[in-house]
Copies of this chain bind each other. A is one copy, B any other.
């Protein structure tokens, strides 16, 4: 067979040439912007010329500090197809990390949304490698700024030719994108995505979830969060209509209107968003989900009760999936197998409340503390190890932490899980979030899900706290459904016949207005532990 490299270029050209009429829709405060792949491609070509004019060389890093919109999508293909590397910056990080990742990636150009310029403005004196700041502006106006030599993106590219001869001689293992993931301790860690990895991941997404040209994909996940799970790459590769909701992504009414008006079929998101949506729907919010076919959910678990409600009450068919920034991210999807279609509803929800079965192309093993694979019995726990062509093999310029995580040719996920006889994986916990009580492990995730299945509970996060006698004990942080109230005793009573053993029941519950979250919407247990250590999480005395 030909020695033909897997490059994004091939797919960009195919979509531009054979699907030029398909639409890209970008939602701005001023209104909805639409253009076709024909027009998109012209601007991607102009961008490539602009990168050349700025002296960007192959392999150079270029940063985006941007939301989900069409200009960001132009960077997604323009930068890698030119031969450079797009660094999708998470601007929600603390400022020291924001500065760190841009300096660490040695970004030469920084593309920033006009509404996010303050992040760059605040950090500008600490950015050591950025030579030029380019403003992605939807209003066409340059904001007030003290940054020198700044230019509007549209002005930068507008006079360049609308065709560009994208290089076909890149290596498929060349970097296309870099994205940082926050670490439990220390600086964020960079994950580099190759052309090959992005393309194989797209093929696997299409193969597993049936994503196709006929899909209309709504990008809810931020394009700086594991690159919106690389769905924008899949969408261009498959020539899908795509919707970029920009600033309006957490406006549930607008989101529901968009889904109906644009006939969205496919979307991805984290449970935090589904929680907001649930709240909106329960208040009678308008919606029409009849076009939706696939809703991939990852990042953390959707409680089973919510899965059922979404599916049955709202015709919103959530499919749980599992992955990480290090895995591009799709690893598993909880789609029932074809022969399960006649199974009883409850059994199907058992399947759908797992994180699913491994995608075709990857290898997984779940190993116990002795490195021995656990039985496929749905009971034995172990750490999930992965390998495959869209799994990272290192953290960028970070040999020390790479050596720990990518040992023996496997990615050690730090996730603890079980696998059942059908091959479905259930996440038990993060290795570091397991609670060790009297020498026995308690899964914080299992416990959280049990508590969240209480009708009055909105969210629940469990941390292990030191205990003089039992070593550690689970400690529950709970938010209550608005307008409701619940007591620790009620919750203890509720858990009694549900937990694996009575010593799983937390001694203490604290009720918070909200659970602190990480920049990507997960429970921030590090913050909860800090608050606990500082004595700020005191259980209500009355209930003890």
Contacts and interface: CB of A to CB of B under 8 A. Distances in A.
Interface of A: 1-4, 6, 10-11, 13-14, 17-19, 21-22, 173, 192-194, 196-197, 199-200, 203-204, 206-207, 210, 212-214, 237-239, 241, 328, 337-339, 357-358, 360-363, 387-393, 409, 411, 422-423
13 contacts: A1-B173, A1-B196, A1-B390, A6-B200, A6-B389, A10-B361, A14-B360, A18-B357, A22-B337, A22-B339, A203-B204, A203-B206, A238-B360
A2 B196 CA distance: 10
A200 B10 CA distance: 14
Nearest to A423: B18
Contacts of A328: 1
A454 B114 CA distance: 65
A22 B338 CA distance: 9
Contact of A388 (B2, B192, B362): B2
A337 B19 contact: yes
Query: How many identical chains are in the complex?
Result: 2
Given A206-B206, A391-B1, A237 B338 contact: no
B194 A1 contact: yes
B210 A18 contact: no
B393 A18 contact: no
Contacts of A2: 387-389, 391-393, 409, 411
6 closest Cβ pairs, A-B complex: A18-B423, A203-B203, A1-B197, A214-B338, A206-B207, A2-B393
Contacts of A210: 210, 212
Nearest to A2: B393
A364 to B, nearest CB: 9
A389 B4 contact: yes
Given A1-B328, A2-B409, A21-B339, 10 more contacts: A1-B389, A1-B390, A2-B388, A2-B391, A4-B389, A10-B388, A203-B204, A206-B206, A207-B212, A210-B210
